[in-house]
């Protein structure tokens, strides 16, 4: 049996442009190739996401520089710079890289501003949570996004939720409280970290709602939205850095001229930009449901890596709390996917866009 040869340029083009159109060579791709491609995309998502979380934890846990707002501000600056770079590369190599050409427009920036306020709150509270609770408890500390999705959807959008989905939220809440209890018994609980985690979870849900509202202002393009969001964030962070006294801490920082420090800071920004791309890539080559399942499995692996890396000893109930949170989140995703199959959607890409912009960027972020 003759197999159609795969052109390396075609594969690279598909990976970089995210184009849904396949040429004749790509239509004949084998099952093995598709499986390997999906595995590679999932592995890339796991690598970028887990590395980003540990890298941000390293930057935020710096005892010599207590300036989480400045760290987040710098990552937004890097994201804006990378958007400009991608636009340039898109013009130089239009057949290889597909990135929208964006010229800054004050009117569009103003329309995106409400989302940007929620956005900077989300990434700031997310990073503050990561700073105080560490990577091991991070999954539980930031686990209430699903619960807030249900709550805010009812309060703001007047959307009701099925009993099965509410039951899943109950499991998540139970896992959250059990995790807090076990951290307290271990003597490692940070109430500040829990507080910021709850606020971050609420902002993630608000971010999803506001993202849908402002999408028409950027022609439905997620990269344009990221561009304006991060420009607005850079401007909004400046007065916050001054008000909270972080400018003085940055100026007096002993490693201010250390290229290694700035290299790590820039790398954090690069991974913050990359997470949006690899999240979209995973959704494209799998599905929103598979993306959520992959994210849940990634969170589990991330927790195990953190516990092993720190040589921590955790109780059975502590691990149970993590499994309740992850299991409840997975079950909620499964229940909602079944409900969505029964109810036709106007735009089949809405779910993918919401997941791309509402979740991992907070993990800078996301």
Q: What is the full DSSP assignment across 253-288? A: -TTTT-HHHHHHHHHHHHHHHHHHHHHHHHHHHS-H
Record the pTM.
Answer: 0.78
For 314-319, which contacts have Cβ atoms below 8 Å and span 24 or more sequence positions? 314/136, 314/182, 314/186, 315/182, 315/185, 315/186, 317/178, 317/181, 317/182, 318/179, 318/182, 318/183, 318/186
Say how far apart CA 309 and CA 135 lie, in whole Å: 10
What local confidence, expressed as pLDDT, does residue 23 receive?
44
Say how far apart CA 307 and CA 319 lie, in whole Å: 11
- How confident is the chain (366 residues) per 10-residue block, as mean pLDDT? 45 40 51 84 91 88 83 92 89 79 88 92 89 86 86 82 90 92 86 92 86 86 88 93 90 88 92 84 76 81 88 87 90 84 57 46 41
Say how far apart CA 223 and CA 151 lie, in whole Å: 28
Closest CA to 365 of 148, 150, 147, 128: 128
What local confidence, expressed as pLDDT, does residue 289 receive?
67
């Amino acid at each position: 049996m003759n197999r159609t040869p795969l052109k390396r340029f075609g594969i690279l083009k598909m990976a970089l442009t995210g184009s849904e159109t396949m040429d004749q060579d790509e239509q004949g791709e084998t099952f093995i190739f598709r499986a390997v491609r999906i595995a590679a995309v999932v592995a890339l998502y796991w690598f970028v996401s887990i590395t980003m979380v540990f890298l941000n934890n390293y930057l935020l846990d710096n005892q010599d520089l207590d300036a989480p707002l400045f760290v987040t501000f710098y990552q937004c600056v890097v994201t804006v710079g990378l958007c400009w770079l991608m636009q340039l590369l898109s013009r130089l190599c239009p057949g290889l890289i597909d990135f929208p050409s964006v010229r800054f427009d004050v009117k569009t920036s103003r329309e995106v501003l409400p989302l940007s306020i929620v956005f900077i709150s989300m990434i700031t509270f997310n990073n503050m949570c990561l700073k105080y609770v560490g990577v091991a408890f991070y999954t539980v500390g930031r686990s209430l996004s699903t619960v807030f999705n249900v709550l805010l959807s009812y309060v703001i959008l007047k959307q009701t939720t099925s009993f099965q989905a509410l039951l899943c939220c109950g499991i998540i809440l139970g896992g959250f409280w059990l995790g807090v209890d076990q951290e307290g018994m271990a003597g490692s609980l940070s109430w500040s970290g829990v507080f910021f985690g709850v606020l971050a979870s609420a902002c993630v849900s608000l971010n999803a709602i506001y993202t849908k509202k402002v999408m028409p202002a950027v022609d439905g393009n997620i990269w344009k939205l990221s561009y304006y969001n991060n420009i607005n964030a850079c401007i909004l962070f400046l007065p916050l850095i001054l008000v909270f006294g972080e400018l003085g801490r940055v100026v007096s920082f002993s490693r201010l001229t250390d290229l290694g420090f700035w290299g790590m800071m820039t790398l954090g920004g690069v991974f913050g930009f990359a997470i949006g791309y690899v999240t979209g890539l995973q959704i494209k080559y799998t599905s929103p449901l598979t993306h959520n399942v992959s994210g849940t499995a990634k969170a589990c692996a991330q927790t195990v890596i953190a516990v092993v890396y720190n040589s921590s000893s955790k109780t059975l109930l502590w691990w149970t709390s993590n499994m309740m949170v992850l299991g409840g989140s997975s079950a909620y995703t499964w229940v909602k996917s079944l409900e969505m199959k029964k109810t036709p959607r106007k735009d089949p890409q809405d779910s993918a866009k919401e997941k791309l912009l509402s979740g991992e960027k907070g993990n800078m972020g996301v």
